[in-house]
Structure 1
Amino acid sequence: MIEKIKNITLILLICMMYAMDSCSQSFPKGEKTVNIGIGIGGGIGVPVGISYEQAITDRISVGGYLAYAQEKETYGGIGDWKYTYILAAARGSYHFKVDSDKFDPYGGLMLGYNIASVKWDGSRAEPISSSAGGVLWGIHIGSKYWFTEKIGAFAELGYGASVLSAGLSFRL
Structure 2
Amino acid sequence: MSRFVHTAAVLIALASFTQPAAAQDGFRLGYTDVGATIGIGGIGAASVSFGLRFEHALRSVPDLGDGLIGIQAGVDYYSWSDPGFTLSYVPIGATANYHFKLENKKIDPFLGLGLGYSIVSCSYSGSGDLCSNSALYFIGRAGGRYFFNDRMALYGDVGAGAATLNVGVTMRLN
| Structure 2, unpaired ranges of 5+ | 1-23, 61-67
Partner residue of 2:104? 100
Q: Aligned ranges for residues 136-155 of structure 1 at < 5 Å?
A: 136-155=137-156
Deviation string 1:14-57 (CA, Å, 9 cap, x unpaired) is: xxxxxxxxxx9742111101121011112234111111110002
Contact 1:91 1:111 in 2 (8 A): yes
Q: Matched residue pairs, number?
A: 139
Task: Quote the residue 2:32 is aligned against.
Answer: 32
Q: What's the counterpart of residue 92 of structure 2?
A: 88
Write the mapping of 1:1-172 to structure 2, written as runs, cut at 5 A.
Answer: 26-43=26-43, 44-58=46-60, 59-74=68-83, 80-120=84-124, 126-127=125-126, 130-172=131-173
The amino acid that maps onto 1:67 is: D
Take 2:122 and 2:72, find their aligned partners in 1: how far apart are those partners?
A: 29
For 2:12, the equivalent position in structure 1 comes to none
Gaps of 5+ in 1: 1-23, 75-79, 121-125
- 2:102 corresponds to which letter in structure 1? V
Cα distance in structure 2, aligned partners of 1:35 and 1:54: 12
C-alpha separation in 2, matches of 1:63 and 1:158: 14
Give TM-score scaled by structure 1 length.
0.73
Match of 1:55, SS state, is: strand
TM-score (ref. length: structure 2):
0.73
CA contact (8 A) 2:26 2:147 kept: no
- Tell me by how many angstroms 1:160 deviates: 2.1
